[in-house]
Amino acid sequence: MNTPLAPAQLAATDRAHIIHPYLPGTAEERVIMTGGSGCRLTDAEGRSYLDATGGLWLAQIGHGREEIARVAYDQMKQLEYFTSFWEFSNDRAVELAARLASLAPEGLGHVYFTSGGSEGNEAAIKMARYYHHRRGDTGRTWILARHKAYHGIGYGGGSATGFPVYHEGFAPMMPHVSHLTPPWPYRKELFGGQERTPEQVTNFLIQELEERIAEIGGENIAAMIGEPIMGVGGMLVPPPDYWPRVREVLDRHGILLILDEVVTAYGRVGQWFAAQYFGITPDIIVTAKGITSGYIPLGALLVGDHVAEVLLRDHGFPMGYTYNGHPVAAAVALANLDIIEREGLLARATAIGGHLHRELESQLGDLPIVGEIRSVGMMLAVELVADRKTREPLPMLQPLLPDVIRRESGVIVRDCAHSLVLSPPLIMTETEAKETVTAMRSVLERTLPTGEIRA
Ligand code: PMP
């Protein structure tokens, strides 16, 4: 055993050795978590936190479940790893694949395992191109995506990601990706500047989609990829008819639909998959995160049987990850799904998410910098504006609002594209919901339209 480091040493050692995503080398502060239980976390200094972001939007069943630890322990003793390449498999991966197929929308009966969301989107984009290639439709190389989309950090999914900041300095990105307008009704400047009904927003977006397909040529497009509700974009909830109408257009042109459900799957929106929430059947669903509630890395693609049939022809699908179908990850996922089912967490997401939404409305709704509050289940956002009338976005100054909220109250929230976003564990209590929103209010009521926060 290593000798445990004292908190100050831990922070110094972290600064000396760890490259953190999105953290400048000059940053001094470290929050070093050492424990978790339910929605609460503890750091090395003994401070306590309320996790209103579910880690990175994935802690469906909450932290510190002994049941999961036992399952992982037992599986490691039994079989810690073997490959799933070729004819090899393992019993846990088989059980999990069958379980996922039984939960998925009708016709998505095949599963391809990964270790996370970025790997999943790489696989999905390659699958889409390969599917057409295998059918002799070799011109279909283009991928449609949306501005403000986040599809991970690989070169395929990263290129489909619709924020310039993820591309700058990494060029050349993958060619043949075209970005469309995101379904973000509140930002009326995206739709000609006037207030529009949800149906009019969809009409606008469908017309743009049709025009883009005509420009590129439908016969050149492999797939469209999209998050059913755009997470990093700021929990952007599309009008109810958006996805069914997109599906109809894509079908007419033989273009596959990849739903990136890395955040939305496994209960977060009150259903197993957001595809079910919107009433559509995509060709491929990419999942990760909530499949294990983060207890161990895992991802899974649910693949339409019609796609799988083509991929499995001849020598099969020629790409594999070392950790495809990892038995410990699969065992943990099965136990996680058991808990979601046993504790009724799909219904709970809708109920506590609705409660949290009402709490946001009642505590924050009157603040002049709060433009819109939107949510589906346990994905919630408070969009912040400098001016409610013009909807000009609130400047996001340093220190960022989530940092101030955390330092003052221990509540962890996150900012995404001028919104504060919440995606707590689905087990959050009403008391914890109130605590979260009260902590937000205490800082937001002191925030000026310039973005400055009064002491
Ligand atoms: N897709 C979406 C919609 C995501 O939100 C994320 C991560 N936040 C990813 C893909 C990437 O997943 P990972 O970080 O596991 O690679």
pLDDT tens readout for residues 370-393: 999 999 999 999 999 999 999 999
Q: Is the pLDDT of residue 303 over 80?
A: yes
Position 183 scores a pLDDT of: 98
Position 135 scores a pLDDT of: 98
Does ligand 1 lie within 6 Å of residue 116's CB atom?
yes
Place of tokens 């409610």: 388
pLDDT in tens, 312-349: 999 999 999 999 999 999 999 999 999 999 999 999 99
Position 2 scores a pLDDT of: 63
Does ligand 1 lie within 6 Å of residue 404's CB atom?
no
pLDDT in tens, 67-101: 999 999 999 999 999 999 999 999 999 999 999 99
Position 4 scores a pLDDT of: 85
Mean pLDDT of 36-62: 98
Q: Is the pLDDT of residue 290 over 90?
A: yes
Does ligand 1 lie within 6 Å of residue 231's CB atom?
yes
Place of tokens 């979601």: 340
| DSSP string of 199-221, one letter each residue | HHHHHHHHHHHHHHHHHH-GGGE
What is the chain's length?
A: 455
CA of 177 from ligand 1 middle (Å) equals 18
pLDDT in tens, 208-254: 999 999 999 999 999 999 999 999 999 999 999 999 999 999 999 99
Q: Is the pLDDT of residue 1 over 70?
A: no
Percent of the chain at pLDDT > 90 equals: 98
* C-alpha distance from residue 140 to each of 180, 283, 398 (Å): 18, 16, 45
Q: Is the pLDDT of residue 455 over 70?
A: yes
Query: Of ligand 1's atoms, which has the minimum distance to the CA of residue 121?
Result: 10
Nearest CA to ligand 1 atom 13: 117
Percent of the chain at pLDDT > 70 equals: 99
Q: Rounded to an integer, what distance in angstroms lies between the CA atom of residue 88 and that of residue 85?
A: 6
pLDDT in tens, 389-422: 999 999 999 999 999 999 999 999 999 989 999 9
Q: Rounded to an integer, what distance in angstroms lies between the CA atom of residue 124 and that of residue 105?
A: 17
Position 278 scores a pLDDT of: 98
CA of 160 from ligand 1 middle (Å) equals 12
Quick one: how many helices (H) and strands (E) in the chain? 14, 16
* C-alpha distance from residue 365 to each of 97, 256, 388, 446 (Å): 44, 40, 12, 14
Does ligand 1 lie within 6 Å of residue 262's CB atom?
yes
CA of 331 from ligand 1 middle (Å) equals 22
Q: What average pLDDT is seen over the chain? A: 97
The ipTM estimated for the assembled molecules is 0.99
Q: Rounded to an integer, what distance in angstroms lies between the CA atom of residue 447 and that of residue 357?
A: 21
User: Which pair of structure tokens corresponds to residue 25?
Assistant: 């080398």
CA of 4 from ligand 1 middle (Å) equals 32
User: Which pair of structure tokens corresponds to residue 107?
Assistant: 């016709």
CA of 159 from ligand 1 middle (Å) equals 13
CA of 78 from ligand 1 middle (Å) equals 31
Q: Is the pLDDT of residue 121 over 90?
A: yes
* C-alpha distance from residue 380 to each of 185, 233, 270 (Å): 16, 12, 13
Q: Rounded to an integer, what distance in angstroms lies between the CA atom of residue 273 and that of residue 308?
A: 20
Position 201 scores a pLDDT of: 98
Quote the radius of gyration of the chain (alpha carbons, Å): 22
- CA quadruple 428, 432, 434, 440: dihedral sign: negative
Nearest CA to ligand 1 atom 6: 152
Position 349 scores a pLDDT of: 98
